[in-house]
Amino acid sequence: MRAVTFTTFGDPEVLSVADVPMPQAGEGQVRVRVTAAAVHPVDLVARSGYMGPLVPAGPRYVLGADVAGVVDETGPGVTGLARGDAVIGMSNWPDTKNGTQAEFAVLPASVLARAPRSASAAASATLPLNGHTAAQALRLLGLGAGQTVAITGAAGGVGAFAVELARARGLRVIAISAAEDEKFLTGLGAEFVARSADTAAAVRAIVPSGVDGLLDAASVGFTAMGAVRDGGVFVAVTPPTPPPSERDIRIELVLARADGAELAELAGLVDQGLLTLRVAKTVPLESVDQAHLTLAKGGVRGGLVLVPADEEGNR
C-alpha cells in the first residue's frame, strides 16, 4: 500500500509517498481503508526533527494521527464493528509512530468511533485530534456553567471546537483571534477580542476581574497569564512548555489521548449541529508536501485533509 513517509528530517521535500507493507489487524484491532486523513502541525514538527528522543533519526516513519475511513478487517476480540462500517479515529502517533496518512491503517478498536452521519469523510477526518484536545482541555479547566473561559487561537482547529464545547457547557466564552474571525466566532456564541500584543489587557478590558480559566490554543504563553484571575486555571496546548505559575494559578498541559467513547460523543454533537467541522482544502496523498507548506504559512481556517486515490485513481 502507499503511505506518506520520511526517513530523514528536513523540509517538506523529504516526504515521499512510498510502498509499505500492508498492515494486518491483530487482537483487538481494526484495519481501516482510509478515505481521508488530516494534516496537523505535529506532522510538521515530526518531519522537521524537532521532537527529540520521541522521534529519533533512522527508521522510515509513516505520518498521520487522524483517520476517517471504512472498516476493512477486524481482528480477534473486536465486537461492535464490522467490515464496511464508516469510522473515525486517532492514533497516539508520538507514542506509537503508527501513521494514518496511507491507504490503510490499523488501530485499536478502542480508539475508533462511528463517523458522523451528517458529514463527509473529509470533514469527519478533521474531528479526532482537535476534538480530543479541546474536550480534554476543558476537563482540565474544570469550569462550570456561568464561569468565564478565554480561548486564544479561537478560530483554529482546537480553539473553535473548544468555543462550541464550552458554550454547550454553559460557560461564558471570550474568543481571542484575528480581527477577520470576529463574525465566525460571535456566530458560535462567543464574545470576541481581537488578537493583540497584550492579550491580558485586551481580555481585562471586558472582564476586569480576570477570567476563571484560559485555554491557550495559540501557544501565546506567559503574556496571556495576566488575563486569568488569582487562583484561576491556565491550560496550555503543546508546544511550547507552559509558563510558570503565578498568583496561585493552576497550570495544566493537555496532551490529547485517543478515546473511542469520547470520540463517539463528539461525533454525536456533530450530528446534533452543536459542533462545526471545517475543511479548508482536500489534497491528494501525493501532494502532501504542498499541504505542509500551506500549513506552515499559517492562517489556515479548517482542516487540510489528505485524500488517497483508489485503485482506479479516483479520489
Band (pLDDT 50/70/90 cuts) for residue 197 is confident
Answer with the residue of higher pLDDT: 298 or 242. 298
Which burial class, exposed, middle or buried, applies to 58 when counting CB atoms under 10 A from its CB (0-12, 13-18, 19+)?
exposed
CA distance 6 to 292: 13
Cell of 123: 470533514
Answer positive or negative: Cα dihedral of 301, 45, 219, 95: positive
Residue 53 CB neighbours (<10 A): 5
DSSP assigned state of 55: S
Tell me which of 3.90.180.10, 3.40.50.300, 3.90.1150.10, 1.20.120.1200 is the CATH number of domain 2-127+278-307: 3.90.180.10
CA distance 202 to 119: 36
Q: Where in the chain is the domain with CATH 3.40.50.720?
A: 130-254
The answer to whether residue 79 scores a pLDDT higher than 70 is yes
CB 201 within 8 A of CB 159: no
Band (pLDDT 50/70/90 cuts) for residue 163 is very high
pLDDT attached to residue 312: 32
Band (pLDDT 50/70/90 cuts) for residue 238 is confident
Q: What amino acid is encoded at 96 in this protein? A: T
Treating both helix axes as pointing N-terminal to C-terminal, what angle do 157-168 and 260-271 enclose, rounded to 10 degrees? 80
Q: What residues contact 159, with CB distance under 8 A and at least 6 apart?
A: 134, 151, 152, 153, 175, 177, 215, 217, 218
Beta bridge partners of 148: 172
| Residues 267/286/99/294 CA torsion (nearest 10 deg) | -70
Which burial class, exposed, middle or buried, applies to 121 when counting CB atoms under 10 A from its CB (0-12, 13-18, 19+)?
buried
CATH architecture of 130-254: 3-Layer(aba) Sandwich (3.40)
Of 29, 113, 100, 155, give the one whose Cα is nearest residue 288: 100
Secondary element (H or E) of residue 201: helix 199-204
Of 162, 133, 168, give the one whose Cα is nearest residue 150: 162
Chain-wide mean pLDDT for the chain?
95
- pTM here is 0.96
Cell of 15: 516526504
Quick: pLDDT tens for 32-48: 999 999 999 999 999 99
Alpha carbon separation from 31 to 20, 88, 107, 264, 307 (Å, rounded): 15, 12, 7, 18, 17
- If you average pLDDT over residues 90-119, what whole number do you get? 97
Which burial class, exposed, middle or buried, applies to 305 when counting CB atoms under 10 A from its CB (0-12, 13-18, 19+)?
buried
CA distance 6 to 13: 9
CB 223 within 8 A of CB 242: no
